[in-house]
Amino acid sequence: MSRSDKNRASFKEFLRDERGIAFVYMTACIPVFIGFAALAVQGSYAISQRNMLQITAEAAALAATAKLPNPSVAISAAQTYAAKNMPSASYGTVLASGDVIIGQWNEGCAAGGQACFVAGAQPYNAVKVTTRRSAANGNRLASFVSNFASFDVSATAIATFGYGAGSGSQATWNAIIVEDISESFATQLKNARAADQALLDCMHQNAAAGSELGISLFTGVSPSPPYQTRIPVSDTADYNTLKNKISGINQCGSNGMPACSGSNAAAGMNSAISQFCPTHPCASAGPAGSREALVVVTDGIPDCGSTKGCSNTTLLNNATTAANTAAADGMDVYTIYYGSSSSDAAWLATLIRGNGLALQTPTAAQLPILMQQICSQMPHRLVW
Q: Which residues bind another protein (CB under 8 A)?
A: 48, 51-52, 55, 58-59, 62-63, 66, 77, 81, 84-85, 289, 352-356, 379-380
Distances (CA, A) of 136 to 93, 96, 139, 248: 10, 10, 8, 54
Query: In this complex, which beta carbon is closest to another protein, that of residue 48 or of residue 187?
Result: 48
- Smallest separation, CB 48 to another protein (Å): 8
DSSP-derived 3-state class of residue 381 = strand
Residue 270 backbone class (left: φ over 0; alpha: ψ -120 to 50; beta: rest): alpha
C-alpha–C-alpha distance, residues 329 and 269, integer Å: 13
Residue of 129, 202, 207, 164 whose CA lies nearest to 369: 202
- Smallest separation, CB 344 to another protein (Å): 18
- Smallest separation, CB 348 to another protein (Å): 13
DSSP-derived 3-state class of residue 99 = helix
Distances (CA, A) of 1 to 11, 168, 312: 15, 98, 129
Query: In this complex, which beta carbon is closest to another protein, that of residue 48 or of residue 146?
Result: 48
C-alpha–C-alpha distance, residues 342 and 340, integer Å: 6
Query: In this complex, which beta carbon is closest to another protein, that of residue 252 or of residue 351?
Result: 351
Query: In this complex, which beta carbon is closest to another protein, that of residue 87 or of residue 223?
Result: 87
- Smallest separation, CB 228 to another protein (Å): 28
Query: In this complex, which beta carbon is closest to another protein, that of residue 54 or of residue 341?
Result: 54
Angle at 57 between CA 56 and CA 63, to 5 degrees: 90
- Smallest separation, CB 85 to another protein (Å): 6
Query: In this complex, which beta carbon is closest to another protein, that of residue 55 or of residue 257?
Result: 55
Positions of E strands within 233-309: 291-298
Query: In this complex, which beta carbon is closest to another protein, that of residue 83 or of residue 369?
Result: 83
- Smallest separation, CB 63 to another protein (Å): 4
- Smallest separation, CB 51 to another protein (Å): 5
Beta bridge partners of 216: 178
Name the DSSP letter for residue 135: T
Positions of E strands within 121-161: 126-133, 153-161
Query: In this complex, which beta carbon is closest to another protein, that of residue 224 or of residue 335?
Result: 335
- Smallest separation, CB 115 to another protein (Å): 25
Put the strands of the sheet holding 100-105 in their side by side order: 117-119, 100-105, 126-133, 153-161, 380-382
C-alpha–C-alpha distance, residues 230 and 208, integer Å: 15
Q: How many residues does the chain have?
A: 384
